[in-house]
Amino acid sequence: MEQLWMGDSALTANEVRDRLASASAPGRAPATTTVLTVLSRLERKGFVGRSRDTRPHRYSALLSRAEHTAELMHEVLSASSDRDAALARFVGTVSAGEANTLRRLLDDVVRH
Amino acid sequence: MIVAAVALGALAFALAWPVPVALSRAEWPARSPATALVLWQGIALGGGLSMIGALLAFGASPAGSLAGAANALLPMAAAGPIPEGFGVVHLAALTLAVGLAVHLALNLATTAVRAERARRRQHRLIDLLASPASESTGARVLAHPVPAAYCVPGLRTATVITDGLVELLDEAELRAVVGHERAHLDQLHHLVLLAFRAWHAALPWFPIANRAERSVAMLTEMLADDAPRRRVGVEPLRTALLRVGSSGASAAYDDSPTASAASDERVLERRLARLEADLHPLDPRARSATWLLATAIVAVPVCVLAAIAA
């Protein structure tokens, strides 16, 4: 469903439904009420904004896909080892000096 | 009673200071990380039990048993005179014991809730942003240039890698990375880490809690390295570690680089050294002995408390 906000300007629930209908197989299009439910749920979670000065209300994405991804990665990469047990990263934070040492080691390995 | 209190106190001291220091300096845990992890859990659990038990035993000593002390004190808890034989120190010890137990339990709960909330947010964003699991690796891919891989543990799990990582690594190296994250998930490392993180959060002034948490985190990384090492081989895992580590891009994101980067680097160094050295695991007898020791550390305070209960 999300793809729809990523591309375009603000849409009404009906327009969202029409786009979904044309994108999915015939007979599998969701009802407008379903779309509205999903939209309001997304609004509560802070993904979608609603402009109330027109009727029907128009919905738009608050952040682009790339912005969301950047935010997510920032959270993941700055989650230092002793803050939360929520995630496990493959390699933790590495300083510039250490990175150079590793690069030299890597060159040795690759050359062999 | 006093003998029991002193014995438990001595055990608590040993498990709070010399034993964890020795274990965190020892070399053998790198050879058999699973065994060392069990021993750490025994130390933490046994240490907590004997500390609380020592305070309880001392506080209850005038009544001769824990049940006797409860009978004598609980009716007077709200109001009334301090029963015969009990001094202020005894009451202070009992209060401290109960307070410590509640504090540790509450900290475990809040740490668990906070981690669960962070995970739920992760899942929400991953569902929205990441491509569905790829067939070759089974990991979800995020469109982001920084090479990174991580997993979200819990009832619902996810393994996530970035475009940057796919670009940086070849097929075998990717499989090694994903295998490492999968091992974290399959072996439920987050539960072990959670307990030690909560312990550290409960006793932030206690240097051993910090040391224990770091050692345990290191051991879980080593354990997670062993799974892809068996399946994909040492070389892809090693080059993957070197490539991701040397890309250095993650440093730009960390807002508290000093302490955490230093410890992350040490973990990475130890993992690399371990892969290179190709260590032999401890022999089975030493491993069984360690398991027995870990069990005994927990069993002793439990048995002592049971003996003085009634």
**Domain span including residue A20:** 1-112
Of the partner residues A69, A71, A99, the one whose CB lies closest to the CB of residue B248: A99
**Predicted pLDDT at A82:** 44
Residue B173 touches chain A, beta carbons under 8 Å: no
Joined tokens for residue A73 = 């990665």
CB atoms within 10 A of CB A51: 10
Ranges of each domain in chain B? 1-129+283-310, 133-279
Q: Is B151 on the interface with A (CB under 8 A)?
A: yes
What is d(CA B28, CA B22) in angstroms, rounded to the nearest whole number?
A: 11
Taking the Cβ of residue B256 and every Cβ of chain A, the question of whether any pair is shorter than 8 Å is answered with: yes
Question: What are the two backbone dihedrals, phi and then psi, of residue A89, each rounded to the nearest 5 degrees?
Answer: -95, 150
pLDDT at residue number A81: 44
Number of domains in chain A: 1
pLDDT value at position A46? 78
By C-alpha distance, the chain B residue nearest A83 is B197
Chain B positions touching A105 (Cβ under 8 A) are 242, 246, 272
Q: Please judge whether A90 and B148 are an interchain contact, meaning their C-beta atoms are less than 8 angstroms apart.
A: yes
Indicate yes or no: CB of A91 within 8 angstroms of CB of B111.
no
* Opening angle at CA B36, ends B30 and B37, nearest 5: 115
Listing from the earlier edge strand, what are the strands of the sheet with B149-152? A88-89, B149-152, B158-162, B140-142
CB spacing of A94 vs B268 below 8 angstroms: yes
Is A87–B189 a contact, with Cβ atoms under 8 angstroms apart?
A: no
Residue in A68, A80, A103 nearest the CB of B254 = A80
For B83, list phi and psi in degrees, rounded to 5: -60, 160
| CA separation for the pair B22, B27 (Å, rounded) | 10
Rounded Cα distance, B52 and B106, in Å = 15
CB contact under 8 A, A94 and B261: yes
Question: For every residue of chain A, which 3-state class applies, written as one string?
Answer: CCHHHHHCCCEEHHHHHHHHHHHCCCCCCCCHHHHHHHHHHHHHCCCEEEECCCCCCEEEECCCHHHHHHHHHHHHHHCCCCCCCCCEECCCCCCHHHHHHHHHHHHHHHHC
* B246 vs A: CB within 8 A: yes
- Best of A94, A100, A106, A109 to disrupt the B interface by mutation (most B CBs within 10 Å)? A94
Q: Which of B111, B170, B173, B260 to mutate to test the interface with A (most CBs of A within 10 A)?
A: B260
CB within 8 Å: A66 and B143: yes
Q: Which residue of A has its CA nearest to B265?
A: A94
A52 exposure class (CB count in 10 Å sphere: 0-12, 13-18, 19+): exposed
Q: How many angstroms away from the CA of A4 is the closest CA of chain B?
A: 12
Confidence of residue A69 (pLDDT cuts 50, 70, 90): confident
Domain CATH number, residue A59: 1.10.10.10
Residue to mutate among B116, B129, B146, with most A CBs inside 10 A, is B129
pLDDT of residue A17: 80
Pair of tokens at residue B301: 């305070």
Interchain contact B149–A (C-beta under 8 A) = yes
Tokens of B253: 């994101």
Helices B207-231 and B257-277 cross at an angle (nearest 10°) of: 40
Of A69, A94, A106, the CB nearest to B250: A94
Cβ-defined contact of A106 to B239 (cutoff 8 Å): yes
Q: In the prediction, which pLDDT does A24 show?
A: 67
Mean pLDDT of chain A: 76
* B 87-116: CB under 8 A from A: 111, 114-116
Q: Does ipTM exceed 0.85?
A: no
Q: Is the peptide bond between B147 and the residue preceding it cis, with omega within 30 degrees of 0?
A: no
Residue A21: band (very low, low, confident or very high) from pLDDT cuts 50, 70, 90: confident
Give chain B positions within 8 Å (CB) of A89: 148-150
**Alpha-carbon gap, residue A63 to A48, rounded angstroms:** 8
* C-alpha–C-alpha distance, residues B299 and B46, integer Å: 8
Q: Do A87 and B150 touch (CB under 8 A)?
A: yes
pLDDT of residue A15: 79
Nearest to A102 among B115, B190, B246 (CB): B246
From first to last of its 310 residues, chain B has per-residue pLDDT tens of 899 999 999 999 999 999 999 999 999 999 999 999 999 999 999 999 999 999 999 999 999 899 999 988 888 777 778 888 888 999 999 999 999 999 999 999 999 998 898 899 889 888 888 888 777 788 999 988 888 899 999 889 999 999 999 999 999 999 999 999 999 999 999 999 999 989 888 988 888 888 898 899 999 999 999 999 999 999 999 999 999 988 866 655 655 545 566 778 888 999 999 998 878 899 999 999 999 999 999 999 999 999 999 8
pLDDT at A35 over 60: yes
User: What SS3 state is found at B287?
Assistant: helix
